[in-house]
């Protein structure tokens, strides 16, 4: 939702709780990764790079969680790329390492977006053939796993890279986007109906409750010719 400050606030709270845990090492790492990614999405690339670098200072990270290590080096390289760095050792080398590790441990999510990032990198240095090669990989894997968010991005980038077949990719993008919007509306309508029916049931319960309360609390007394009705 792009509410970055609020996201950072809750991640900071998560980190405080993780620090209190006896075996909170993994939670501290994953939360630190989330914080770094928020700074990257926020556009604060320098802070993001520093946060990712702090995570990678954990010497046992590769052995402890190679999948998370791959994700971190990929995200740090992408942050460097977004900040304007295009040095091969800073960008291409960690991307390739992240891909190899991700393939070995079947981390297809990191594999997909690292291919996407690598394609962006090659496009920026005018190596169009390599850019097309890696966006194809990202496109095929995201489609096979039905990773729709990634798939939408790869379709747009495919259309911009491949002018001769841009119409095909744009049509596929429109079709997928429309189906996702329809699904989202269906879910939203479903919850709206649940809320409406819940409110209706609650109101019916309140009416029944009030009726029962009124009936139970009404006491009629007869004294001579007078009738007294006392209500609680």
Residue-wise pLDDT for 142-192, tens only, equals: 999 999 989 999 999 999 998 788 899 889 989 888 888 887 787 887 777
What pLDDT is attached to residue 154? Answer: 93
Domains of the chain: 84-196 (1.25.40.10)
Residue 78 CB neighbour total at 10 angstroms: 27
Measure the CA–CA gap between 212 and 196, rounded to whole angstroms.
Answer: 24
Measure the CA–CA gap between 187 and 212, rounded to whole angstroms.
Answer: 37
Using a cut of 0.75, tell me whether the model's pTM lies above it.
Answer: yes
Res. 42 pLDDT band, cuts 50 70 90: very high
Whether the predicted pLDDT of 218 surpasses 90: no
Measure the CA–CA gap between 214 and 232, rounded to whole angstroms.
Answer: 8
Whether the predicted pLDDT of 230 surpasses 50: no
15-41 burial code (b ≥16 CB/10 A, e <16): beebeeeeeeeeebbbbbbbbbbbbbe
Measure the CA–CA gap between 190 and 62, rounded to whole angstroms.
Answer: 44
Residue-wise pLDDT for 86-128, tens only, equals: 999 999 999 999 999 999 999 999 999 999 999 999 999 999 9
Helix/strand/coil (H, E, C) string of the chain?
Answer: CCCHHHHHHHHHHHHHHHHHCCCCHHHHHHHHHHHHHHHHHHCCHHHHHHHHHHHHCCCCHHHHCHHHHHHHHHHHHHHHHHCCCCCCCCCHHHHHHHHHHHHHHCCHHHHHHHHHHHHHHHHHCCCHHHHHHHHHHHHHHHHHCCCHHHHHHHHHHHHHHCHHHHHHHHHHHHHHHHHHHHHHHHHHHHHHHHHHHHHHHHHHHHHHHHHHHHHHCEEEEEECCEEEEEEC
């Amino acid at each position: 939702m792009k509410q970055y400050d609020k996201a950072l606030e809750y991640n900071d709270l998560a980190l405080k709780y993780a620090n209190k845990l006896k075996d909170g090492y993994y939670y501290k790492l994953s939360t630190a990764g989330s914080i770094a990614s928020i700074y990257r999405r926020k556009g604060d690339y320098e802070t993001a790079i520093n946060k990712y670098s702090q995570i990678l200072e954990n010497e046992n990270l590769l052995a402890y969680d190679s999948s998370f290590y791959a994700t971190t080096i990929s995200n740090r390289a992408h942050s460097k790329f977004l900040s304007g760095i295009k040095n091969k050792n800073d960008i291409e080398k960690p991307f390739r390492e992240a891909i190899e590790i991700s393939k070995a441990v079947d981390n297809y999510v990191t594999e997909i977006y690292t291919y996407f990032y690598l394609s962006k990198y090659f496009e920026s240095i005018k190596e169009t053939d390599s850019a097309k090669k890696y966006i194809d990989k990202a496109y095929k894997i995201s489609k096979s796993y039905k990773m729709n968010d990634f798939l939408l991005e790869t379709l747009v980038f495919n259309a911009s890279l491949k002018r001769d077949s841009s119409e095909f990719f744009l049509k596929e993008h429109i079709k997928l986007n429309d189906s996702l919007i329809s699904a989202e509306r269906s879910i939203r309508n479903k919850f709206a109906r649940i809320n409406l029916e819940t409110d209706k049931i609650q109101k019916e319960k309140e009416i029944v409750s009030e009726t029962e309360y009124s009936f139970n609390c009404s006491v009629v007394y007869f004294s001579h010719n007078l009738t007294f009705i006392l209500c609680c």
